[in-house]
Every structure is written in structure tokens, then in C-alpha cells.
Structure 1
Amino acid sequence: MRRSDVRTTLRNLLAPAAIASAMALLAASPAHAAVLWTADPASGTGSFSYTACDGGSITTHDGNDGHGPVFRLDKPTGSDRCEVAGAAGRTWSNDTTYWWGWKLRTSTPDAQTVFQWKSWGTGEEQQQNYPVLMKVEDGRLKIWYVAPGEVWKPVGSKEWTTTGYHKIELGITTRSDNTGSFALYVDGSLVVDQRSVRTWDDRGNNPRWGTYGSAIGDVDSTVWIDDLRLGQTRADVD
């Protein structure tokens, strides 16, 4: 047999074996975690555990901008809060990693608090009011770690514009000691990679999204939230 014929024969024999080997490797690989929850505008506020929007409104809105229906939260003058919280049918646990992804637009560069990893309880029932908190303030998205005793530690910021949506990806690994962590990507760029922090309070925590703060009690503030979802990895919410 000519040498070229030998090479051809070997290739033909090896190809099925290589394919079978690759398929076996894929089958042995762990399945990728799926999206665990999405906030569907068609369900309205039923997607969330509860809302807090005294005097304001939480509606769905289609701005004909390619995003389709999104959540619209309107906080009027005279109120300091319009928020949605939690995920209907889900609870949160210590020693767990959660990733949330959403697209956010604000009507003002001072929408103040747009996300809280809010602790349950009040007063002596909690050590941390909100271990992770994000604000849109002075034209920037600012992120804090708030340690026990209400010790605020700025951990990152990024320029914020009000002309369109920004993509937010936030991951929190919950720990009741100082071995927790959280990471934040904005428009695909890593803004925060915070480690060795306490991210789970005595009675647990719950996510909140919206526009909140005493500094904006005398102004109207609107936020739009699109494609809000929960997963176990960043890839699940990307």
C-alpha cells in the first residue's frame, strides 16, 4: 500500500474514534446551570415578593426602542421610594452564590439607591442594614460594601449616562462570617471584585431594585428595568 493510502486509511479510522471521544467528554461535563428566575413584565408585580412605592406607580412600558415591555417605576415628588423586592416563589440562603442580571435606565443622574441587598429585621435584629448597595449619584454608578456597625466602604464606581440602558451583572456569595464576596460588571466591564466580606446578615437578606433615597424626596425619579434574571453563574445572566 502506498504511503498516501496508509495516511488516508488512518484518518478514516481515527475520525469516528475522535468524534466518539469528544462526545463522551461532553456527556461527562457537568450541565451548565440554567436561569433560575426571570421577572416577566407580563406578570406585572407578581414577579416579585413585594413592592414599596407609596404614592408612585409600578407599570410595564414599551418605549418602542427595541427592548419591548419593561418595568417602569415612577417615584413622585414627596416620596422617597419606589422599589420592587425579592423573587416570587424563591427564598435566599447562606453559603450560596447568586447572580442577577438586568438592564437599567434612569431618568436622572441622581436616582440614588438603585439596588440593595437588604437585611431583614430592624434595630438589634440586624448587624448590617444592606451589605451591598448601589447608587446612581452625581452621574456615576457607585457601589458600597456596608460592614457591621454601618461602616460604609466605597468599592467601585463607573460613569453613568441617562440616554439609554446599562447592563448590570451582580454576583454575591453569601457568608455570615468574613469569607463572602461580590462582583459587579457594568456594560461588560468588571467594576468590583470584593472579597473577604460579610454578605449575609443575622436574619438573611433580600434584593431590592428601584429608586430610593431621602436626598431625592423633592424630585420625580423614574427607572426602567429590563431582562431581570437570576442564575448561579455570570454566564446564566449574561
Structure 2
Amino acid sequence: MQSRTVRFIPRALRAVLSPLAAGATAMMLTATPAHASVIWDGDASNGSGVFADVLCDSPNYLYTTDWNDGRGDIFGFVNKAGQVRCEGHSVRVGGSEYQFTGGNTYWFGWESETLTGDMGTVFQWKSNGTGEQHQQNYPLIMMVLGNQLRVWYVAPGEEWIGVGSGAWTPGAWHKIKLGINAQSATTGSFQVYLDGSLIVDQKNVRTWDDLGNKPRWGTYDSNVTDTDQVNWINGLKMGTTSSDV
């Protein structure tokens, strides 16, 4: 069988792909609470109800499986060839959607394994509202492209700024930690760790949009029309410090 290399640029990046600059200083996020607190356990063993909503229109779907590798149940987000998205949207705590609040720091942790090295979007810090209701569609976005986990800060006016990247091997598990200091002025910050290494330490950015923000995990906007995309996710957690997740 003849091998084929898939080359694409996601729709959101067609005109704005910029060189990536890796920020790598080991400073703590500002405004981190003094006391650790695990807010949310999003492990797949708790079912898809850990998400406030699941955005997987047919034929896309979310499922759980156990590979008998010691992890227990994991999520599989399946985006069929030519489709747009399969994502878990926001989080549910105590039976209700969690209310994120500007001015706070949130840490998220999870493991991810992807079917290919060109997945498109695998995480969004998605702004609430649509169109003119927000200044930033997604202040922070992560994509798996060209066997790299790539991270962008998207400033008001849809200005895409590459802030870091790290090597990504499809078919292998990777640990991601993300800390966000959610600020509506340009006093916010965020950090990204990949497999224990700091790949982003971004400061003086706007990380909280007009109507607020919520996390999304899965697969979105891969722009690949002839290949299914799958993002397996394990051990989702949210807390107030890095040690929580």
C-alpha cells in the first residue's frame, strides 16, 4: 500500500499561522490560591456526565473503554472523516454545571493519546457567547499538528500568537497540565506542562472574555476529510494548584 502524508492547516489558522515561540521559565502562576483543592474528578469511570455537555453530532461519538493497561476506563472522542467536532464541554460538579469565575486560577490535568499526529484542536479555553458577544473566541487553544502539541494565545481581534510546542508521538500516552489565571485585563497568565516539562509560561495576557470561559476537550476542526480522528483521554481533573492534577 502506498504511504500518504496528510498535510493541512485547520480553518482557524489558514491565514494566521505564525512562528511558535517557546516560553520556558519555571515561575508559578500569579494569584494561585494558598490552599490546594481538587474541584472536579472527570475520570471516565464516572461516565460522560462529568461534562456539562457532549458536542458529538452523529456520526461522531464519545465512548468509554478499558484497555487493561492499569488505567481503567478512558474516554474516546471520535471525529469521523470529514466531520467537524466531538468534544466534552465544561464540567459538572455535584450534578450541576460548574460556574467558572474571573479572577481565579484553575489547573487542569489529563492524559491524552491520539490516533494521528495531525489531530487539529484537542483543547479549547472556549469563550461563552457567539460572534459580537465576545472579544476572544478562545483565548487559549491547543492543537496536535505535525507530531507536535502546539499552543496558541489568541488575543482580542483574533490575533493568533504561537507561545510554545512540544514533541508529540501518536499512539502513545502524554501527560498535560494546564494552569490558567483567568483575568479580563492583560494581567492574566497560563502555563502548560507536557510530559513533565514546562513548554509554555505566558504572562500579561487576557485569559477571561466578556462572558467568561469554559474548557473543552476532544477533537475539533482537523480539516482532514478522509481519515477518522480519535483522541483518547484519561484521568481528567481540575483543581486550584498544580499538585491537585
TM-score (ref. length: structure 2): 0.82
State the structure with more CA Rg: 1
| Same amino acid, percent of matched pairs | 51
1:45 paired residue number: 48
Q: 1:19-30 alignment to 2 at 5 Å?
A: none
Q: 1:1-238 alignment to 2 at 5 Å?
A: 32-54=35-57, 55-88=59-92, 89=96, 90-237=98-245
Instruction: Describe the superposition over 1:126-159 as per-residue Cα deviations: whole angstroms up to 9, x where unpaired.
Output: 0000000000001100000000000000000011
What secondary structure sits across from 1:124 in the alignment? helix
Aligned counterparts of 1:95 and 1:34: Cα–Cα separation in 2: 16
Instruction: Say which structure is richer in helix.
Output: 1
User: What is the letter of the counterpart of residue 91 of structure 2?
Assistant: A
Please list every run of at least 4 consecutive aligned residues from structure 1 whose deviation after the TM superposition is greater than 4 angstroms. none
Q: Which structure is richer in relative contact order (CA contacts within 8 A, separation 6 or more)?
A: 2
Aligned counterparts of 2:153 and 2:42: Cα–Cα separation in 1: 26
Cα pair 1:121 1:203 within 8 Å, conserved = yes
Aligned counterparts of 1:46 and 1:224: Cα–Cα separation in 2: 17
Aligned counterparts of 1:78 and 1:163: Cα–Cα separation in 2: 21
1:4 paired residue number: none
Unmatched tracts of structure 2, length 5 or more: 1-32
Aligned counterparts of 1:141 and 1:40: Cα–Cα separation in 2: 22
Residue 66 of structure 1: how far off its partner (Å): 2.1
Residue 32 of structure 1: how far off its partner (Å): 4.1
What secondary structure sits across from 1:235 in the alignment? helix
Cα pair 2:43 2:237 within 8 Å, conserved = no
Cα pair 1:98 1:171 within 8 Å, conserved = yes
User: What is the letter of the counterpart of residue 158 of structure 1?
Assistant: G
Residue 42 of structure 1: how far off its partner (Å): 3.0
Residue 85 of structure 1: how far off its partner (Å): 1.1
Aligned counterparts of 1:32 and 1:235: Cα–Cα separation in 2: 11
TM-score (ref. length: structure 1): 0.84
Aligned counterparts of 2:61 and 2:131: Cα–Cα separation in 1: 29
Aligned counterparts of 2:46 and 2:67: Cα–Cα separation in 1: 18
Cα pair 2:65 2:73 within 8 Å, conserved = yes
2:22 paired residue number: none
Instruction: Describe the superposition over 1:95-144 as per-residue Cα deviations: whole angstroms up to 9, x where unpaired.
Output: 00000000000001011100000001111100000000000001100000
Residue 56 of structure 1: how far off its partner (Å): 1.1
Cα pair 1:44 1:59 within 8 Å, conserved = no
Q: RMSD between aligned alpha carbons?
A: 1.4
Residue 37 of structure 1: how far off its partner (Å): 0.5
